[in-house]
Structure 1
Amino acid sequence: MKLDTNQQMSVLASATGLILIAFYFLALYLGADTADWLPNVIACIGGFELYMFGQSQWEAFKRKRTNDRGGPRG
Structure 2
Amino acid sequence: MTHYVAYLDEFGHVGQYVSRNHPNYKTHPAFGFAGLVLPASEIREFAIYFYKAKCQLLAHDLANDNPKNLPA
Q: TM-score, normalised by structure 2?
A: 0.32
Q: Which has the higher strand share?
A: 2
More helix by share: 1
